[in-house]
A and B are shown apart, each in its own frame.
Chain A
Amino acid sequence: MSRQIKVERIKEGTVIDHISCGQALNVMRILGITKEYPSTAVTVAMNVSSPKSGRKDIVKIEGRELKGDEVDKISLISPHATINIIRNSGVVEKRNVSLPVTLEGVVTCANPNCITRFEDTVSKFKVERRDPIRLRCLFCERVMEQKAVINQF
């Protein structure tokens, strides 16, 4: 018999599935869960086998739906993640995160001398690679790798 992970079903909230392996804690960081805990029940599964992606992480959050910018940030560290919105114990909406070709806002350029850090303007990046993420600032042209992106969340 294979080992089963028993994960409690949630009644209202969000299940973030197909998170890139090892990124569950960063997803929680994006959602600010450390701060909100214990007002929300959170279930985390890491390194779970998945027929689709080999290994994956899962995060379930009771009583919360994600905001647009939270979904955008998750897309940066887990481009294959799916967001399932649960109501009355059933999935009412399932969507994939989407990572645009040009990313506006969401992250700040890591270059301390970049003009976007001094002017009131929206940051813009070209997405040069999706997984792991690689961004190029459209202003200063510097590259931001995954580590620098995660550091901001």
Chain B
Amino acid sequence: MDMDFRGRDIISIRDFNRDEIEYILDKALEMAGEGAPLMAGRILGLLFFEPSTRTRLSFEVAMKRLGGDVVGFSDSHLTSITKGESLSDTIKTVETYTDIIVVRHSREGAARLAAEASSKPVINAGDGPNQHPTQTLLDLYTIRKELGRLDVKVTLMGDLKYGRTVHSLAYALALFDAEIDLVSPPGLEMPEEVITDLKAMGARINVSNKLDISRAQVLYVTRIQKERFPDSEEYAKVRGAYKLTMESLHEAREDLIILHPLPRVQEIASEIDGTKHAKYFDQVANGVPVRMAVLALVTGVVD
């Protein structure tokens, strides 16, 4: 199957259908371990209006592995380029130097706006609590790599209300007919709006406040942040109840994989790191080939 990604923006997982997502994942698999200088002579602009060291490093490594170069900033407060300037103007300036632009911004919709302003492809590396499509792609890539398929039983556990990664991931999993369990503390449930969307797509959804690990092939754990709770006692209680320990694994399936977008704050006990189930550091590593694939596809150096 031939697909033309050249010049396309990567803003939201909602912009992609199943075939397109699979195409990107296939390309990422080809890229893994590759060091071909496909992007030699090309420059990536990394515009991190909001800092995120992990995401920036991953994009930077992806571009360098392809033989390309990067310019940019990692905190808009440190630069003069953004002082009082509109986002559109910053993008129009940076696009004159670069072949492709990666944007991270605290405001929702910022990447879409950047893409409208730019004639070069724009990749969204997080627009506030909205989308982070390369994170979703690397989550899918990891599941498919480990289990060989995407129509699996997935449990999303933790803060499902504010956690942006789980909203996009749930949407993508629904595209692939996964069965989705949503497990969260009371008050941090998946927003009704998102569940309505998922059900409209025909997704099989189960909502609970308690984890039944025996159901899961994938357990995707997210951070529960302290600032979501009125007092620290309540937080401590919830944190304890949703923490994964060796004991939690007794009922787990043989093929269970545990994922986490990282950084974690004690949601997964470090004793689990050594088990065959722990795949969160592989997940981080998978960000590189996935981002290599995206960069190469939208610049048109591969098709």
Contact = CB atoms under 8 A, between A and B. Distances in A.
A42 B193 CA distance: 39
B86 interface: yes
A141 interface: yes
Contacts of A109: 109
Interface stretch (A45-53, A60-68, A115-123): A115-123
B14 A115 contact: no
Interface string B128-159: 11110000000000000000000000000000
Given A141-B130, A143-B193, 8 more contacts: A109-B109, A111-B108, A115-B108, A115-B110, A115-B127, A119-B113, A121-B116, A140-B108
B27 interface: no
Q: Is the interface of A mostly helix, strand, loop or mixed?
A: loop
B107 A114 contact: yes
A115 B109 contact: yes
B105 interface: yes
Nearest to A141: B130
B113 A121 contact: yes
A121 B116 CA distance: 10
Given A115-B127, A143-B193, A137 B109 contact: yes
Contact of A116 (B113, B127, B193): B113
Contact of B108 (A119, A121, A141): A141
Interface of A: 109, 111, 113-116, 118-121, 137-143
A102 to B, nearest CB: 13
B64 interface: no
Interface of B: 12, 14, 86-88, 105-110, 112-113, 116, 127-131, 193
A113 B107 CA distance: 6
A140 B193 contact: no
Nearest to A117: B107
A80 B87 CA distance: 39
Question: Which of A114, A115, A118, A140 neighbours the largest number of chain B CB atoms within 10 Å of its CB?
Answer: A115
Contacts of A141: 12, 14, 108-109, 130-131
Contacts of B12: 141
B193 A139 contact: no
A131 B42 CA distance: 49
A29 B283 CA distance: 53
A141 B193 CA distance: 11
Contacts of A116: 109, 113
Given A138-B112, A141-B130, A115 B193 contact: no
A115 B131 contact: no
